[in-house]
Each structure stands twice: as structure tokens, then as C-alpha cells.
Amino acid sequence: MRIRGRFLVVMAMIGALVSMMSVMPASAGTAGTVALTGGVTTDSVIWYSTVAGHKTITISVTDPDANILTSLTTANANAKCTSGVLVNFPCTLLPEAAGVAVYTTPSHTFLEDADGDDIPEQLLVRALQAQATGFIGSGTSAATGAITLTANLGTLDAGTRKATHQVDADARTAAGVGVTMASQSTVPAKWSPAITATGTTCDWGPNGIEVKGTAIHPVTFAETADTVQKIVNSAGANTANIANSAIGVIKTANFLKPGTVTASYDVVGTCDGNHHADIVWHELGTVAARFNYNQVDTIASTKVSATSSAHTAVPLAVALTETGAATGVFTKTIELTGTLAHHNVAYDHDSDNNTATVNRIYAADGATFTIDYKDASPAATITKTAKADLKAPTISLVQPADNSYTNVTAQTFVLTVEDPASSGGKAAGLATADVDNLVTQVLGANAGTVSANLTPLLIGTNRFQTSFSQTIATNGATKWWICTKDKVGNTPVFTGNTAVGGAGNHAACTTTPAKPYEVRIDTVAPTIVTADTETGGKLTDTVVSSKPVTTWTADTGKKAAVTIAFDDGGADDSGFAYLDSSTVVLNEWSVGGATPSSFKMDTANSGTKGKYLVFQMGADQATDARPYIEYTGTSAKDLAGNLLAKFSGSGSTAVGIGRVKAVDNLAAEITATTNLSIAQKEITVTATSSEALSTTPTIQVTPT
């Protein structure tokens, strides 16, 4: 058990000590430190962004010297006591009366505790009337203000102020003065009547015993004149039995100013020499304490500044508040903003409609924030810096190619994610947990399926490669993406026209983003639609949104053209792969026994999607021609790599042969001749058609 003695010294000794202190050199204080929290530390740099959860800089200054001890008279100049040789010393009146060993400070905690042992320094506990000082014992706590002495201090009875007197009649006036005391206290004190009851027919009336005087606040020593306290009453009934009461059992709640105390009595019933109360008024021993204490302090805004390299002209002046009495740690938050107009503007950061208190500091990508604290002792400016990373990670596709076709159902999806440098070749970086997922969505699924907890491969500074293999059983477009962000919450854009390819919503990873990657699975062989294979047709080249587009349309006048139509997959995301024009080999095809001279196809981004192959022959065909189109090769494949399906003939061969007769879609050519000049009275008109007509033609003459 540790016991610290507290005792009085003679004033001469105090004077000598003060004289010695005046010539001793002042020691330097403890150097302060600055810390920044709320960010992410990567490569020895503290990073922040303008993203919620990562935009708040909490500035913390740890400096015990800035925690200022407060004297009891600092806020309350009148809070002074006198007891013997101790004259006008700062004090507070303790609620417990003298005569015990355990006390509590009425409204102070975190008493001075320089060495951190929870035993208060400079604590004096004094019984004022007894002029006795207590010794501090175990159980005393600077943090809570609890005081335990090694022995009882002083005595409960500090003096008799009115000797025994019989109460058998009312002694009160409208002003509450009925009984004057024989003597008064010399210090603020509480008062207590010792009561001896005689007989049983004399009772306390509704007003019982009242004490009047000037109340003194135990901490501020503020005075309230003519305070009346009812210390004995009938508890709501008309009467209460007079009962014995020892000194200190019934007492005033307030400390009363010396020279102001009077009392009054209210009795009812039969009160006489045989039925009455004998009362002795006592002054209770007052115990006062002197100490210094801690309260929540502040560091002025003139000592702390925050400067952004993106806007050095206007540094923020930041006032810090201590996290608690005696902690010596002072904090304040500021927030990053990407809007210059919001720089150094306070706002209600928690949206609780209270006073706007948090200032914002302007941030551009790579900006440096410099926090300066001007420490007074030892005199120095302590600096801490942080940086802004406002760049989102970039996504690069490795495989499979976006919007590509394949007949391989076992796919390995691979991409890289990189957090680009924001300042000095450094960035906040990527957490493995934010690059360890790939999401796939097969045709027909309402949402994606996350493949989480993958093992990304670090392939460079802040650069990871992530891969996932999956067998896709559904033909059609399979969409896939990654949900990623950097360590300070920057995410690639995943909505609207500016969306990044392959970027998903990190907060709703299975939701299809605006621009997922796509791979189109098609395991079905391409098939010629014989009913739509015809003579004629044309292809028209245009430019749409800076991209070349080739569209097929029927044209009954193109006699050198033959159109072959292929099966149409329907919806754009069906994954259906049309014929790959690079696999068309002319000498593997014949039209009417002749090899086409050239060919062209419509494009996938056209309205006809790449469905049509148009052969150009070396000569015009007859308008009623229905040539056989034959394929005897093995080269033709669709964009997914499937060989052209067999479309005629017999046998077990599945691909590589076919013969289909084209539909006649060329317009008949009709010519008209006359036997005489048109100006004759009678002429003969002869109409000649390039092919048999299904109806008799009508000749119409228009006069001119």
C-alpha cells in the first residue's frame, strides 16, 4: 500500500522554497507530436481521397504541456477558505462532514497527477474548525476525485450554537425567523439539531423545523440570501411524531454563511412540560480541499494550420479540442473536397442540423497536405504531411477478347488491375481483397455470380493480375467484370457512357454494370438458309458513330450478284456467330458452275448483323436464272470457329458439302418496239420480256 503524507509546513519554509524556485532555471516542456488518422499508409505516405470513409483527416496533437492545470480560484475567485495559519487558500467544500476518513470532491475529477500514479499532487484536505490536515491514504484517486484519509479527520461536532431548549410551542414568523442562535460559526458550515423527545402527544406540524440563512455554494462560493430549508417535516401528512435524533442525522443540505443562521419550529397536539422536544443546535465540522485539476482544454487555431499544395494561398486555421480532461491529446477533423469553392468552408458533416463545425480542404490528385503545430515548449514547429489519391484503378483486359466469339466452353477470364501513381510514383495501392473477385453472368441469368477469394498475382507496383476459369454450358453472350477499388475508395466508373470496360459496382457486385466484358459462346455450326439464298442483292457502306457499317438490302437489278443467307441467332446477346469472312475461299464455291470473282459480307454492327454473303460473278446472269450454289471445301467457319454445316446431299458427312438452288429474285427486263414512227395513225407495239411473265403485260400510251 502506498501512502502519501500531506501536512502543513510553516510559512517561513514555504517562503524559502519559493525563493529557491525563483532562481532555479526553467525546464523545457515535453515536445509535442502530430499524428494523422483516417487515412491509409502505403510506402510511408498517408493517403486520403474525396470518397466517403476516406476523406476525413483527424489531426491529433499529443502535448502534455498544452493540458493546463486549473486552480480552484481560476474560475471562482471567491472560492477561498481560512483555517488557522492557512489564510485565504483556494478551496472547495466537501459534502461529507468532519469526523470520517472518506470524502468526495463535489464537482471535480482528474485532479493533478503529474507522475500518473492516480494519487493527486498538491492535495490538501483540511478540517476548517479543527484546524487539522489529513494524510492521504490508499483509495484516493486523482481520476475520480475520491479521497481516502489514513484516519478520521476532525470531529463531527464543531460546536454548540444553541444549548438545550424546550420546544412545546410554535417559534416561527412569516419571515422564518423564530429562534436566534446563541452563537454563530466562523466558517461556512452545515447545521444539525440534536433532538430528545419527551412524551407522545406533541408532534411536528407541516412546517416542522426550518433553518434560514445565506447559502454558500460549495464550489463557487456564490451566496443566496434568505434561503429557507425544511429539515424536519410531516412528509406530506399534517403531523409527524417527534422522535429522538442524534447530531448529524438531521442537517441542512446547504453550507450556511457565518452570522446568518436562524431557525423556526412548528408543533401541533398537546405540547407541555410532559410532552415536548428538547433541541440542541450544533455546527457540523466543515472539511475543505485544495487541489489543482484538469479540464478539457483547447489548442488555439493560431497554433495549428493545414495547407493544401493544391491551394496554398488559403491555409486552414484549425483549433483542437482535448479528447478528455488530462489526456494531453487534442484533436480536430477536416475533410477533403474536390470543389475549390468549398475550401475552408465549414459544414455540418454529420447532417444532424447542428452547427457546421468541420472545415473542408481542397484536394487535387497528388496534392500534399501539410499540418503544422507551433509548440511553445520547447519552441518548435512540428509538421506532418499526407497526400491525396483521387485516381481510380485501371482495368486492362487480357483474355478472352471483348465481344469475341468462340466455340470453346472452358473459358479462363484474365484481366489486370492497376492503381496508377498519384504523386512521386506512388499511390494508395490495392488491397488483395479488392482484386480477388471476378463476376460472370451467363445468358438468361438475372445477375452475376461472384467468384470470390481468388488469388491475384502481383505483377508490378500496385498491379495485380486476376484470373478465373469456368465451363460455360449456355450458348450466348457471357458477361463478366471485376468489382475493384483502391485502398482509399476510388472506384472505376461503372455507370453511364463514361463507364470503364469490365468495371462493376463494388457496393453491389452482382448487378450488371454499364460496360461489362463479353465473350460469345457458340458451339453450333453455321447453316445456310436455302429459302433466302437468291439472285441479286447489294451491300451499302456507311459510317455510323465513326465506325464503318456495311448493310445488305435486296436489289432485283443486280444481275451479277448472288446472295447466300445464313441462320440468324435472333437477339444481339444470343452469341450466335455468323460466317467469318476470312474463311471464305472463292475456289471452294461455284455458282452455276462458275467460280465467283469476288465476295463481300455485311457487318455485325449493321441492321442485318453479318447474315449475308454476296458473291459477284464475272458476268451478268439471266433475270430468270436459278443457279446452283455449291460448296465443296473445308475452310468456311463461323466467327466462333465452327465449320459450315452440311446443307444438302446424303451420307454421314456433317460438313464441307452442300448444293442449293438459288431463288430467282431478279426483276424481268421488258423492252417495247414499234413497227412505224410513233407519229403514225396506226402502229404495232411489240413487248419482249427477258423471262416468262406470270401475267399479261398492259401497254399504256400517254398523249403528249
What is the pLDDT averaged over residues 683-689?
73
pLDDT computed for residue 460 by the predictor:
96
Size of the chain, expressed as the number of residues it contains:
704
The phi and psi torsions of 531 (rounded to 5 degrees) equal -65, -20
Distances (CA, A) of 329 to 38, 59, 665: 16, 10, 90
Q: How many CB atoms lie within 10 A of CB 606?
A: 21
Instruction: Report the predicted TM-score, pTM, of the whole model to 2 decimal places.
Output: 0.77
pLDDT computed for residue 684 by the predictor:
73
Query: Which position has the higher pLDDT, 6 or 325?
Result: 325
Instruction: Report the percent of the chain where pLDDT is more than 90.
Output: 71
* Cβ atoms 689, 668 nearer than 8 A: yes
Measure the CA–CA gap between 482 and 503, rounded to whole angstroms.
Answer: 6
pLDDT computed for residue 4 by the predictor:
41
* Cβ atoms 562, 591 nearer than 8 A: yes
* Cβ atoms 204, 184 nearer than 8 A: no
Q: Is 71 helix (H, G, I), strand (E, B) or coil?
A: strand
Distances (CA, A) of 160 to 157, 198, 211, 258: 8, 21, 16, 14
Query: Which position has the higher pLDDT, 607 or 302?
Result: 302
pLDDT in tens, 414-463: 999 999 999 999 999 999 999 999 999 999 899 999 998 999 999 999 99
Query: Which position has the higher pLDDT, 621 or 657?
Result: 621
Residue 79 has pLDDT above 80, yes or no: yes
What is the pLDDT averaged over residues 35-58?
96
What is the pLDDT averaged over residues 219-234?
92
Measure the CA–CA gap between 228 and 214, rounded to whole angstroms.
Answer: 9
pLDDT computed for residue 20 by the predictor:
36
- Domain boundaries of the chain, sorted by first residue: 157-286, 394-521, 530-661
Report the candidate in 506, 486, 509 with the shortest Cα–Cα distance to residue 431.
486
Distances (CA, A) of 6 to 79, 516, 639: 21, 78, 97
pLDDT in tens, 628-637: 999 988 899 9
pLDDT band of residue 669 (cuts 50, 70, 90) is: confident
pLDDT band of residue 610 (cuts 50, 70, 90) is: confident
pLDDT band of residue 603 (cuts 50, 70, 90) is: confident
Measure the CA–CA gap between 25 and 290, rounded to whole angstroms.
Answer: 27
pLDDT band of residue 679 (cuts 50, 70, 90) is: low
pLDDT in tens, 236-257: 566 778 999 999 999 999 999 9
pLDDT computed for residue 358 by the predictor:
84
What is the pLDDT averaged over residues 184-196?
97
* Cβ atoms 365, 50 nearer than 8 A: no
pLDDT computed for residue 609 by the predictor:
80
pLDDT band of residue 9 (cuts 50, 70, 90) is: very low
pLDDT computed for residue 691 by the predictor:
74
What is the pLDDT averaged over residues 658-680?
78
Question: Which set of grid coordinates corresponds to residue 588?
Answer: 471452294
Distances (CA, A) of 667 to 110, 398, 554, 558: 105, 51, 11, 9
Report the candidate in 423, 439, 440, 433 with the shortest Cα–Cα distance to residue 486.
433
What is the pLDDT averaged over residues 548-570?
87
Measure the CA–CA gap between 640 and 560, rounded to whole angstroms.
Answer: 30
What is the pLDDT averaged over residues 507-530?
93
pLDDT computed for residue 688 by the predictor:
77
Question: Which set of grid coordinates corresponds to residue 363?
Answer: 484536394
Measure the CA–CA gap between 44 and 426, rounded to whole angstroms.
Answer: 10
Report the candidate in 394, 575, 370 with the shortest Cα–Cα distance to residue 502.
394
Strand partners, 47: 40, 387
Residue 537 has pLDDT above 50, yes or no: yes
Q: Does residue 378 have a cis peptide bond before it, meaning omega lies within 30 degrees of 0?
A: yes
| Residue 694 φ/ψ region, left for φ over 0, alpha for ψ in the -120 to 50 degree band, beta for the rest | alpha
pLDDT computed for residue 531 by the predictor:
86
Average pLDDT along the chain: 89
Report the candidate in 482, 388, 368 with the shortest Cα–Cα distance to residue 428.
388
Report the candidate in 368, 370, 312 with the shortest Cα–Cα distance to residue 47.
368
What is the pLDDT averaged over residues 666-678?
75
Instruction: Report the percent of the chain where pLDDT is more than 70.
Output: 90
pLDDT band of residue 651 (cuts 50, 70, 90) is: very low
pLDDT computed for residue 323 by the predictor:
95
pLDDT computed for residue 700 by the predictor:
73
What is the pLDDT averaged over residues 136-144?
95
DSSP H/E element including 12? helix 11-23
What is the pLDDT averaged over residues 58-67?
94
Q: Is 1.10.1400 the CATH classification of the domain at 394-521?
A: no
pLDDT band of residue 648 (cuts 50, 70, 90) is: low
pLDDT computed for residue 54 by the predictor:
97
Residue 85 has pLDDT above 90, yes or no: yes
Measure the CA–CA gap between 350 and 405, rounded to whole angstroms.
Answer: 51
